[in-house]
Every structure is written in C-alpha cells, then in structure tokens.
Amino acid sequence: MELSFIKVLMEGIQEMVFVMEVGEDTNFYYAFFNKAAMETIRLDQKAIGRTFREVHDFDKASLLEAQYTKVLKTGESVTFEATYTNINGEIRNGKSTLTPIFNEDGSFTHISSITQDITNEKIAETDRDITKNRLVKAESQYRSLFYKNSDAIFTIDLHGHILGGNKTSEKLSNYSIGELIGRNFIEFVDPKDRESANKYFTESINGDLKDYRLNFVDKTGERIGCLVKFIPIHLHHIISGIYVIVKDMRELDKLVSKYVESEQIFRIITENVHDVVIMMNHNKEYLYVSPSSREVFGYDYENNSNQTPSINIHANDIKLFENRFEQSIRHAKPFQIQLRAKHEKKGWIWTEISGSPVYSDEHQFQFMVMTARDISIQKEYENKLEYFAYHDSLTGLPNRRFLSDRFSELLKGKKTGITIIFLDIDNFKCINDVWGHDIGDLVIQEFSKRLSQSIESHDIAARLGGDEFIVMLPFVENEEEAIKVAEKIQRVMEGTWHIEHAELTITISMGIALSTQDNITDSVMLRNADLAMYEAKRAGKNLYKVKRF
C-alpha cells in the first residue's frame, strides 16, 4: 500500500510536490519530489539530501527558507505566491501551500509543499488590471503624453501587438487607429530593420532604454526615417506593455544631407529643437551649435566656431569623447556616450551626447552631427534608486540586501564567524492599534536613531521590515562581548518615550547568534538569531537569548 501511495505522489499528481526534512541545524533538506517537479524545474535525484542553498541561487533559496521558516515557527500551514523558471527558461507564476508533518510522537519532522501553476490566472488578472487602470493611473500624465505630444506614440503589448496610439501616430503612418489596433508593430518596420527592431524591443523589456534609428513604411509605401524609443509600462511592479515613441526625422535628415548648400534652413530647424544640435569637423572643431545651448548649458556658442571640446567637456572625459568620435568615423557607425559638460551657472552637469558621421557621395567624412541633452536629473534619480535599493525608506538604515552583501564582504579572509543580534520591539502591534500607524512610524524612527547611537561605528544596524532590526558585530566573537552590546542597547531604550502626544515604554526581545563554523551564510545566522529572539519572547519578553552553533 505504501508503494502505491508513493507512486500516486510521484506520477499521479500534476502539481509539483516536494517534501522537505527539517534538520537538527534548522536547515531544510530535500527528501522527496514528484515527476511533475522534475519535469518542470529540472530537478533530479542529486538534489535529495541537499539544502535550498545547495540547489538554488541566493534569491530563490532565501525566499524558500523564509516561507518554510514561518511553518517551522508557527506549526501551521503557509500559502505564498512566487515566480520560478521552468525547464524551457520561461518565467512562470506558482502558488505553493506548505503543510507541517508530525511523526507519531508529535515531533515536527517534515514540511510538504504542493505548487500549482497559476501563470494563466496571473496573465488574465494583469490584463483585467490594464484594462481597468490604464486611464485611472496617472490620468493627467497619460493625457499629456498621448494627446499633447508632437511625436507619434503607440501602446503595444509584450508580444508587439498595437493596443492604441495618439493622433500623431495616425498622421505619421497614414493609418487610422482602428486599422492599427491588433496588428503587430513590427509589420510597419522596414523589412531591413526588423531584426534590429526586435532586438531593441527585447532590450527595453530588460531595462536598456535608448534612442534608436529605425525606418518605417507608411500606408502609401513611403519609407520614413525615425528616432524610436521603447519605454516599458509598469503596473503593480510588473511590465504590462510598452510605449513606443517615434520621432519623424525626415526633415532633419534631409537638411543634414544638404548642409553645405542649406545651412540657413538647417539653422531654422535646429533652433526649434530642445536638445542641443552640434556639428564638428574632423579636427573636432565646432562648425555649428544650435541656440538651444543657452537654455541647456547657459552658453551662447555662436562665437565659438573653430573651438575644440576642451572648452566645455570635463578634462577626465575628453579622452573618452575623442576615442568614440574617432571610432564613429572609422567604422561609419553612430555613437552615444555620457559625460560631464560645463554649465555656465551649475558647473559640471551630466550630459548625453549622440553622434552620427556624415559622408560625401565619395564616402569622404564631412562632419559629425551630434545632439546633447542634460541628463543630470536622470543621474540623480539613478543614484537615489541605487541608495534606496540598499536602504530602508522610513529610517534610512541599511536593509536586508545591504546586510547580505556586507556579510559576504566581511567573511572574506575571516576564519571565524560574525555575531548577529536580531531585535524585535515588544507589543509593537498594540502601539499601532492604540496610537495609529503615524505614531508607530515615529517609534520606528526613534528606535532606529537610538539603536545607531548605541553601537560602534564599525558595527552595522539594519532594518529588516516592520519592527524587526538586525545588528551585525564584525569584531565580536565571544558571548560575553555580545551580551555587553545587547545590554547597552537595552539601557539606551529604557525610560519613557515622548512621541507626539503619546507616552510610551519601549522594550525589546533580542536573539544573539554566534557561530564558530567556517563559511557560514547570512541566512543561517539570521535564522538562528531569529529563533533565539523567539525564545526570548516566549520567556517573557524584554530579554535576550544566545544561540551558539
């Protein structure tokens, strides 16, 4: 009967089934998985007896450990949703239910998991959200983008099918919106450029946002040279579609090609372009700079003909500019770089320069046409994004990602482990319930401030989320020193806290994890510190417990 039951689990259940053994070291070891799991995520029998970290990458293993640890702590079932990559390399959505398994004497020995593929449901849900929220979310920006933009803008799905467009898109293509909707965007790209268009489309989904030159064919068959940008549409942190912004470059292209005899007309056009248009000869001397340079850089370059870039490009970036300039001429290919250019009042500002070489009918280089734009706000935003990727937005403390990276750095060259203290504010839920979340946030901020003041400069205080914090002690390797730090933190938190109109007494439960093992991981340290903290909670709170392993 037992063999039949295993056969049913192995071959008769279409969902992925896993059974994990709970080890004495609190790690989880693969004990069983069925045929569906092996065929879906490329697992084989070599995984039996191994931990999540020995089988999966860091992020996947961390996610699984966190969910299985919830079951270990509570003894109750847990359901969660997460993505996984199948055997074909496709990203799928799964819904997993974890159930604790007890042996005859009531000991907690295993956790079973059944994972259901809910990708189609997620796609349907996303489609419904797009339809419902497209105009609701940021309606004013959407209307401005679509109805007041002089460039053609198409909305396409992740398969390239056109969902809509603005009036300029009708004018550019000579098709009505009704004729465009439902057709694949690539159909309107010149056949010679379709391979490149598909490549640019894929790059944009992966976060590489650039301007590209592509040729389109309108309803009459006319070939249209365009500057194109693909911008992903994010909805609930999921890419649900793409904006395709298309600038008609025919007039500017004609003027550039006829620059020698049509310089006056070219100037009229460039005077109305927001980006700075620049023309340089082979010696990198300015032949022309558009009047928009005054708006972008604060300078009027009309009297700077025959000057070189050294007058306004940062000394550390000149070599980069000159090398890319020469490569562009040598290989007859456009280039794009980011460098620091001088602004009359702001000093050095980050600037993006795009250049295209122009040749005569005899294939002799004539001049380089470039556009320059101020990207200092974009750079500032990128720097902020990088900061927030590693820091908690409420407190400014490092987050779990920062902690993990720093942990790996600190372990390099160390023969012994690092001490971790896991802190949890006692009865924090009551504070939120009684005084409200605004007071709760102020408590978290004050707690973070006091915690940072109670440790040494080489120690690290981080917030995991909610009322959970971590202190990493790189140079504390014995229990006595760790306890001194914990008791100092307790003293700093003592007394009545005056937060707005509330008077509060704050206590904390702490779990201290010390390890003498080599090559210990941050997740194992955190799990043991977490378990020690829960022991302190069960023992009455406002305590600390130590776990050595």
Poorest-pLDDT segment among 28-42, 125-139, 445-459: 125-139
Decide if 270-380 and 391-548 have a common fold: no
Given this model, what pLDDT does residue 255 score?
Answer: 64
Given this model, what pLDDT does residue 431 score?
Answer: 93
CATH topology for the 2-117 domain = Beta-Lactamase (3.30.450)
| Token pair listed for 460 | 């690290």
CA–CA distance, 153 with 140 (Å, rounded to integer):
16
Given this model, what pLDDT does residue 413 score?
Answer: 60
Query: Which amino acid makes up residue 388?
Result: F
Question: What are the pLDDT digits (tens) for 404-437?
Answer: 888 888 777 664 568 999 999 999 999 999 999 9
State the pLDDT confidence band at 440, using cuts at 50, 70 and 90. Answer: very high
| Token pair listed for 514 | 């010390």
CA-based nearest residue to 337, from 210, 437, 427? 210
Q: Above 80 in pLDDT, residue 6?
A: no
Spans of all domains in the chain: 2-117, 125-248, 270-380, 391-548
Q: Above 70 in pLDDT, residue 92?
A: yes
Given this model, what pLDDT does residue 239 score?
Answer: 81
CA-based nearest residue to 467, from 403, 526, 424? 424
CA–CA distance, 537 with 543 (Å, rounded to integer):
7
Q: Output 102 or 134, whichever has higher pLDDT.
A: 102
Q: Above 60 in pLDDT, residue 118?
A: yes
For residues 184-210, average pLDDT: 89
Long-range contacts, 327-332 (Cβ 8 Å, 24+): 328/355, 328/356, 328/357, 328/368, 329/282, 329/357, 329/365, 329/368, 332/357, 332/359
Question: What are the pLDDT digits (tens) for 478-528?
Answer: 899 999 999 999 999 999 999 999 999 999 999 999 987 777 788 888 999
pTM, two decimals, is: 0.42
Given this model, what pLDDT does residue 70 score?
Answer: 92
Query: Which amino acid makes up residue 513?
Result: A
Given this model, what pLDDT does residue 232 score?
Answer: 86
CATH topology for the 270-380 domain = Beta-Lactamase (3.30.450)
Given this model, what pLDDT does residue 533 score?
Answer: 95
Poorest-pLDDT segment among 113-127, 182-196, 337-351: 113-127
Question: What are the pLDDT digits (tens) for 461-484?
Answer: 999 989 999 999 988 888 999 999
Q: What is the mean pLDDT of the chain?
A: 84
* CATH fit for domain 391-548, picks 3.10.620.30, 3.30.70.270, 3.30.830.10, 3.30.1490.20: 3.30.70.270
| Token pair listed for 355 | 């250049």
Given this model, what pLDDT does residue 133 score?
Answer: 54
CA–CA distance, 117 with 319 (Å, rounded to integer):
53
Q: Above 50 in pLDDT, residue 544?
A: yes
197, 217 contact by CB (below 8 A): no
Given this model, what pLDDT does residue 309 score?
Answer: 75
Given this model, what pLDDT does residue 28 score?
Answer: 92
Poorest-pLDDT segment among 162-171, 268-277, 309-318: 268-277
Question: What are the pLDDT digits (tens) for 319-340?
Answer: 999 999 999 999 999 999 999 9
State the pLDDT confidence band at 84, using cuts at 50, 70 and 90. Answer: confident
125-248 is a CATH 3.60.15.10 domain: no
State the pLDDT confidence band at 441, using cuts at 50, 70 and 90. Answer: very high
Question: What are the pLDDT digits (tens) for 40-52?
Answer: 887 888 889 999 9
The answer for residues whose C-beta is within 8 angstroms of residue 13's C-beta and 6 or more apart is 34, 36, 114
